[in-house]
Amino acid sequence: MAKSQIDSAAVRELAALLEETGLTEIEYATGEWRVRVARAANGVVHAMPAILPTASASGAPAAAPVSDAAHPGAVVSPMVGTVYMSREPGAPAFVKPGDTVKEGDTLLLIEAMKTYNEVRAPKGGRIARILVSDGDPVEFGAPLLVLE
């Protein structure tokens, strides 16, 4: 395997974009290359404590609840931005809980840097839960809704 070179100019450019926009992380991918630049907000990093399963009365480990992010039908944010549930204020939402969607249907919009990006259904199914509200800020990989 050949040793690869890091494109430091690209990393510096991404870091400058982080500073300029106030984002905490940005990821860029092209071909087989993927670069992720992140910084802690206000220079403080908060660690989440590990959650360990508790034992049930029978002594067997309790079943851990499936988080929405780990749900096999979770649709996650492809970018950092602001969620919009409809194309314009006052218009009906693209989807609501209980709706049936087909693969490719628009579920919601994410506005990033004045560009509105459609988030489409990766598969057909029923909208079980919507985890965000109109105008909510979202991070890359944040669960948006659950399809079943």
- Chain segment 78-131, per-residue pLDDT in tens: 999 999 999 988 899 999 999 999 999 999 999 988 888 999 999 999 999 999
Task: Give 92's Cβ-side CA count (13 Å radius).
Answer: 4
pTM tops 0.75: no
pLDDT at 84: 93
Asked whether residue 110 is assigned to any structural domain, the reply reads yes
Q: Phi/psi of residue 21, each to 5°?
A: -95, -15
Tell me the residue range of the domain where 17 lies: 8-43
Q: Count structural domains, the chain.
A: 2
Q: At 128, which CATH number?
A: 2.40.50.100
Q: CA 93, CA 35: separation in Å to the nearest integer?
A: 34
